[in-house]
């Protein structure tokens, strides 16, 4: 159960020469869990849940809490404290962890420690009003109901303000009141932060004020031609249409007449949509088929011969950049980026000679490669009790036991090799038959 995350580790930290030259390096370095936005890693009394070692430490701590709570000389208050497990953060990781912890305690440890099982309490703390905010509302509601039914103490609108080695202080956002609760174990799962080695690199390349490395749409670190970054340590800085609007206009206006005709525009349309994917998203949102429709709509003109000048062009595209979003820090993104970069590197020489990317808007010729495009394949939220919620492309929502089987299939199919696939599946079988491993190794 706790080794769940390992199968998602897609690419390790690699620095190796590319394309035969000495200078190119590729960086894929994950980042620690951290209190979002702050430089704090996590309070020292809490356990992070990022690496395999963290998972082992969590399991060991859970077992130790049970072992200590089972000692005969303890009073009930001390037992309650030891068996109070707190999870901070109601995102997908915190929710999955709380659900799995609940199953572990309810299905396995309660049988081994029957006399103290009634002292067990799991608290899930979330600062906003709901858990799983990024999912469809139906999934959020189902998860919250399920947790209540399972007896998980779900506290939304609750911010952790302090953690000492004895208790955790929680502020109720609505009333402003602060309460303290003793605990046996806290797992911190509120977001990710940068590793020191990345902070150093970012300072060196003039990105010292950022949380993650900024790359261009080809995953090249900004300000460098030879460093590439992918996965959790990087974010793509998609260029805005409005930043380049004058250059886009100039590129399309082949006869330098100062106005754009539909024909002129159609010739560069494909390149522009590829270079600025937010444009396609915007058109889809507005239920338009092409940019020409947008220009026509903005001019209120329906003639084929519509012509626009730079000001009209600017006003037609002024809202396009509003739909730009950063990609999530997930394995799905990291693995697609890995495949993309591997393809680019393998074809470096070929594409140098025959560039296949879109037209360079601010320069001459074409880009060597197509820019990276993320394809969202959906998202799962395992909720424990052999139930999972899934939000699949097209906003298709599926919740329940059958979705858990879908999760098993996807999870197994995404393993990097037949060896890991066999290990993971045999782990599941072992758990089905004998229960979870409760040794403190």
Residue bearing tokens 């799983």: 132
Applying CB under 6 A, which residues contact ligand FAD?
Answer: 5, 8-13, 28-30, 49-50, 93, 195, 197, 231-233, 329-332, 334
Nearest by Cα to 237 from 210, 217, 259: 217
Residue bearing tokens 């911010």: 159
- Residue 187 in contact with residue 46, Cβ under 8 Å? yes
Indicate the residue among 140 and 332 with the shorter CB distance to ligand FAD: 332
Residue 238 DSSP one-character state: P
Supply the minimum distance, in Å, between the C-beta of residue 42 and ligand FAD. 12
Supply the minimum distance, in Å, between the C-beta of residue 385 and ligand FAD. 18
Supply the minimum distance, in Å, between the C-beta of residue 376 and ligand FAD. 11
Supply the minimum distance, in Å, between the C-beta of residue 236 and ligand FAD. 13
* Number of helical (H) and strand (E) elements in the chain, helices listed first: 15, 19
User: In angstroms, rounded to a whole number, what is the distance separating the alpha carbons of residues 284 and 286?
Assistant: 5
From start to end of 265-348, where are the E strands?
A: 307-309
Supply the minimum distance, in Å, between the C-beta of residue 402 and ligand FAD. 19
Residue 21 DSSP one-character state: -
Supply the minimum distance, in Å, between the C-beta of residue 195 and ligand FAD. 5
Indicate the residue among 13 and 396 with the shorter CB distance to ligand FAD: 13
CA-atom Rg of the chain in angstroms: 26
Indicate the residue among 12 and 72 with the shorter CB distance to ligand FAD: 12
Nearest by Cα to 344 from 370, 366, 375: 370
Indicate the residue among 298 and 330 with the shorter CB distance to ligand FAD: 330
Element of type H or E holding 66: helix 52-69
User: In angstroms, rounded to a whole number, what is the distance separating the alpha carbons of residues 147 and 158?
Assistant: 16
Task: For the chain, report the end-to-end CA distance as a whole number of angstroms.
Answer: 14
Indicate the residue among 324 and 410 with the shorter CB distance to ligand FAD: 410
Indicate the residue among 249 and 411 with the shorter CB distance to ligand FAD: 411
Supply the minimum distance, in Å, between the C-beta of residue 102 and ligand FAD. 16
Indicate the residue among 92 and 184 with the shorter CB distance to ligand FAD: 92
């Amino acid at each position: 159960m706790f080794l769940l995350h390992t199968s998602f580790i897609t690419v390790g930290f690699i620095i190796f020469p590319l394309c035969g030259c000495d200078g190119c390096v590729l960086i894929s370095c994950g980042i620690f869990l951290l209190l979002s936005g702050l430089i704090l890693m996590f309070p020292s009394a809490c356990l992070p849940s990022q690496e395999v070692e963290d998972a082992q430490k969590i399991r060991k701590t859970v077992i130790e809490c049970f072992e200590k709570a089972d000692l005969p000389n303890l009073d009930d208050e001390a037992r309650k404290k030891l068996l109070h497990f707190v999870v901070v953060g109601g995102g997908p990781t915190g929710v999955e962890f709380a659900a799995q912890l609940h199953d572990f305690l309810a299905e396995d440890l309660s049988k081994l420690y029957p006399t103290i099982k009634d002292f067990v309490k799991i608290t899930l703390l979330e600062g906003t009003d709901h858990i799983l905010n990024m999912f469809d509302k139906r999934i959020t509601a189902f998860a919250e109901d399920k947790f209540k039914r399972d007896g998980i103490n779900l506290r939304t609108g609750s911010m952790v303000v302090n953690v000492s080695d004895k208790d955790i202080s929680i502020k109720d956002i609505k009333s402003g009141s602060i309460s303290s609760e003793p605990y046996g174990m806290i797992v911190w799962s509120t977001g990710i932060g940068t590793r020191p080695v990345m902070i150093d690199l970012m300072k060196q390349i003039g990105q010292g004020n950022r949380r993650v490395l900024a790359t261009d749409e080809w995953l090249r670190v900004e300000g460098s031609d030879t460093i590439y970054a992918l996965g959790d340590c990087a974010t793509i800085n998609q260029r805005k249409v409005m930043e380049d609007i004058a250059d886009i206009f100039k590129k399309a206006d082949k006869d330098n007449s100062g106005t754009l005709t539909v024909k002129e525009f159609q010739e560069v349309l494909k390149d522009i949509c590829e270079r600025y994917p937010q444009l396609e998203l915007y058109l889809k949102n507005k239920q338009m088929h092409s940019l020409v429709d947008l220009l026509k709509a903005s001019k209120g003109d329906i003639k084929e011969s519509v012509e626009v000048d730079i000001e009209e062009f600017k006003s037609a595209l002024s809202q396009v950049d509003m739909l730009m979003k950063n990609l999530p820090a997930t394995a799905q993104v990291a693995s697609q980026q890995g495949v993309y970069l591997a393809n680019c590197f393998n074809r470096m020489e070929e594409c140098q000679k025959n560039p296949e990317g879109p037209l360079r808007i601010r320069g001459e010729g074409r880009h060597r490669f197509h820019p990276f495009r993320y394809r969202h394949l959906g998202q799962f939220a395992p909720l424990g009790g052999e139930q999972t919620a899934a939000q699949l492309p097209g906003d298709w929502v599926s919740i329940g036991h059958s979705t858990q089987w879908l999760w098993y299939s996807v999870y197994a199919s995404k393993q990097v090799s037949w060896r890991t696939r066999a290990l993971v599946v045999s782990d599941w079988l072992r758990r089905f038959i004998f229960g979870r491993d409760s040794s403190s190794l």
